[in-house]
Structure 1
Amino acid sequence: MTAVDTPVKHAGHAKEHVRGLNGLRALAVVLVFLSHKAHVETVDVGKLGVWIFFLISGFLIIGELHRNRVRVEAGNARREAVMCVFFMKRALRIFPIYYLLLLALTIAHALFYQRDVDLGLAWHYFFLSDYWIGVVKDGWPGTVSHFWSLAVEQQFYLVAPFLLVLTPASRHRAVCALVVLTGVAGHLAMHAADASEPLIYACSPLNFALLALGGLCGVLGRERGLARAAGHCSTGIIGALGVLVFATQPVWSTLVLPFSAAGSAWIDIGLALSLCVLFAWIANSPGSIVVSALEIKPLDYLGTISYGFYLFHNLIPSKLGFAPAWFAAPTWVHTLCALTLQFALAVLLAHLSWHLVEKRLLELKKPFEAAIARRLPARRLHSQTQPR
């Protein structure tokens, strides 16, 4: 959703483009759109989309923090500088368009927009949307409920640099594994306690486990073992089959006995692990036909502007584009026309947001990073420039 810095920086400062990630973002945001606008219920496509976003964010952010910790240990960077750069980049990427939108929503809500609905705007300002949905409201009212996943990622961004930059790089895999195990245990416990669906959906620690799973792919991805395993086509097939089986649970579970709460929890865990396997294969198979398909320009561009698309899409009126009742056409034609118009409008808004605001602000990253490097030079470089 927000971690869109697809180039991966290695310890040697070289950049390597991770093929297919923008295409994955595009698919994820389309799945979320279909969940909110087409009301697809056979498969929880919204969950699939958001979990893909979590895996991508964990892969990029934890991978970056891991490499920066390696630089710190080598004396090529200071912890303070690394953390300042991290928070600067996240702030430039997330805050401007998010708070501009919230400010516009606050004014519109006070005047005319969904005045009869509690949008919980105060909670969104502090990235507590998940808490508002799961604990305060215990439901999904309003058109800003999709902000919950942004809150989860922002909470992750607040903790991750302290957890990883201040921890030896050799322990990062153990840290991620511990987060995964804790998330799985917490998810099982919430189901066992018969927690409500909104509470589990928005506040389950399994969300953070998915970020950590993506992080494990980022930390391990350059090691020969994982890269070699992920390079086999069978790995991708296994992951894809797992996603298919667990994601279609609402369909095939009607043919057998209903699942218990514990069974539903394990289905979520199976889906998360299957998505992780499929994602690891894609991230480490740049030459595959699947990755080539994800690299086509329309998907790549939609992935580039996916943050704005995600922010705006659910605010577009769901009735927009539906023809009057007297217009003689099958129902599916009405629905298709409306969805096409709503999708096109969301793309237009995201396009304008990217070119007028987001892209211009992201161009400030390098000057700010250079200023931080001058202010907080690497200790090795600093010691070399001191007079003897």
Structure 2
Amino acid sequence: MKSGGRTTTAVDTHVKHSGHATGHVRGLNGLRALAVVLVFLSHKAHVETVDVGKLGVWIFFLISGFLIIGELHRNRVRIEAGSARREAVMCVFFMKRALRIFPIYYLLLFALTIAHTLFYQRDVDLGLAWHYFFLSDYWIGVVKDGWPGTVSHFWSLAVEQQFYLVAPFLLVLTPASRHPMVCALVVLTGVAGHLTMHAAGASEPLIYACSPLNFAVLALGGLCGMMGQESGLVRAAGRFSTGMAGALGVVVFATQPVWSSWALPFPAVGSAWIDIGLALSLCVLFAWIVNCPGSVVVSALELKPLDYLGTISYGFYLFHNLIPSKLGFAPAWFAWLRAPTWIHTLCELTLQFALAVLLAHLSWHLIEKRLLELKKPFEAAIGRRLPARRLRTQTQPR
């Protein structure tokens, strides 16, 4: 069967119907931008009525699970069809992850180590040794049982890196037909583990950073990456979730003046079931967004400022919490201008946000983008070194 000038095989058809095709997925960069803004507001504006930081991190987890598990699933299909080798798939995967994550991360850690030795937060245990090995979540939840220092946000990077270490072995070595079941088991295990931690009275930092529910959210993103294209149920659920999110936003904005004294009518705001419901709701909304590229919401997420902020979001996330919270703090000057307090706060946040964007912009153009351009040559070299067995058999002389 011909399609677009090339032969469409059964493998191609299976890939198309067993998950999203490779290429640009509309709205993902906008979602990344929304995620880093939520995390920024949590760390710098100290929004506490709603845990916007958790929302932002879980959006990142959903995107990572969607892309990574979807890619591994498609590669496993290629392996089963004989058009790829396991060794090549694994090498390409780890090469891509290393180019994307390691350079700027370790450069920043190296600079922080020097600065911490000389002058930066010398009276605070930053746990830098743990961050070098992507064990920030363990350091926060078990070793320190708290959130000291300005590098605590590295815990989510540790969770993702641990996911990257396990996912390729779990999925590349497992038949593609079983991938949805594997992800479902991870979700169920994560939910059960989260409930168990709450029942055992685990501390808030331990639950936040080390709960297996974090891996369940990654698996939920993976299920979105393997599901078929848009369905009526996904569209309806997505519209409902969007409406609920909009209503929640209006309520939060309207109650902003009383945030400091407002309390929810139930005792445990961060209870296990609320977390689980939040994760599932985010998943439904995310599934609708990635399956309805023509919706108004996706069009809004594709706006150029959001798209670019999403492109540089990794650097933004790394740098934003290291920017001094006192940057832009000038009470005497604003008192002389007789400006209200909210204007002073807005100016502080705007200046800190702009600096984080500038640092992320420089990081992207000077380091990250240039390194990512090496992916295709490296992938081609790996393909030549480890050719697919089917192709190698076809080229053998008779």
**CA separation in 1, counterparts of 2:29 and 2:271?**
31
**CA separation in 2, counterparts of 1:95 and 1:327?**
42
Q: After the TM superposition, which of the residue ranges 46-55 and 259-268 deviates more from structure 2? A: 259-268
Which residue does 2:393 correspond to in 1? Answer: 383
Contact 1:192 1:261 in 2 (8 A): no
Note the aligned Cα RMSD (angstroms).
4.5
Candidates 274, 281, 284, aligned match of 2:291: 284
Q: Which has the larger radius of gyration?
A: 2
Compute the displacement of 1:42 (Å): 1.2
Q: 1:93 to 1:370 in 2, by over 3 A?
A: same
**CA separation in 2, counterparts of 1:244 and 1:32?**
20
Aligned length: 387
**CA separation in 1, counterparts of 2:153 and 2:134?**
12
Q: 1:237 to 1:283 in 2, by over 3 A?
A: farther
Structure 1: 5+ residue runs without aligned partners? Answer: none
Contact 1:19 1:283 in 2 (8 A): yes
Q: Which 4+ runs in 1 deviate beyond 6 A? A: 2-14, 225-236, 238-257
**What is the percent sequence identity of the aligned residues?**
90
Query: TM-score normalized by structure 2?
Result: 0.88
Contact 1:3 1:60 in 2 (8 A): no
Q: 1:8 to 1:134 in 2, by over 3 A?
A: farther
Q: After the TM superposition, which of the residue ranges 26-35 and 256-265 deviates more from structure 2? A: 256-265
Contact 1:20 1:291 in 2 (8 A): yes
- SS class of match (1:127): coil
1:147-181 C-alpha deviation (Å, 9 max, x unpaired): 00000000000000000000000000000000000
1:329-379 C-alpha deviation (Å, 9 max, x unpaired): 221111111110000000000000000000000000000000000011111
**CA separation in 1, counterparts of 2:104 and 2:148?**
23
Q: 1:14 to 1:276 in 2, by over 3 A?
A: closer
- SS class of match (2:15): strand
Contact 1:35 1:46 in 2 (8 A): yes
Q: 1:285 to 1:13 in 2, by over 3 A?
A: closer
**CA separation in 2, counterparts of 1:219 and 1:242?**
30
Candidates 183, 201, 221, aligned match of 1:214: 221
1:232-258 C-alpha deviation (Å, 9 max, x unpaired): 778876998799999999999999986
**CA separation in 2, counterparts of 1:340 and 1:8?**
44
Compute the displacement of 1:226 (Å): 6.8
- SS class of match (1:16): coil
**CA separation in 1, counterparts of 2:323 and 2:129?**
21
Contact 1:230 1:285 in 2 (8 A): no
Query: TM-score normalized by structure 1?
Result: 0.90
Compute the displacement of 1:127 (Å): 0.1
Compute the displacement of 1:77 (Å): 0.4
Q: 1:278 to 1:76 in 2, by over 3 A?
A: same
Contact 2:32 2:313 in 1 (8 A): yes
Structure 2: 5+ residue runs without aligned partners? Answer: 1-8
Contact 1:31 1:46 in 2 (8 A): yes
Q: After the TM superposition, which of the residue ranges 57-66 and 245-254 deviates more from structure 2? A: 245-254
Q: After the TM superposition, which of the residue ranges 215-224 and 229-238 deviates more from structure 2? A: 229-238
Q: 1:233 to 1:302 in 2, by over 3 A?
A: same
Contact 2:238 2:288 in 1 (8 A): yes
Q: 1:347 to 1:77 in 2, by over 3 A?
A: same
Compute the displacement of 1:222 (Å): 3.6
**CA separation in 1, counterparts of 2:203 and 2:256?**
19
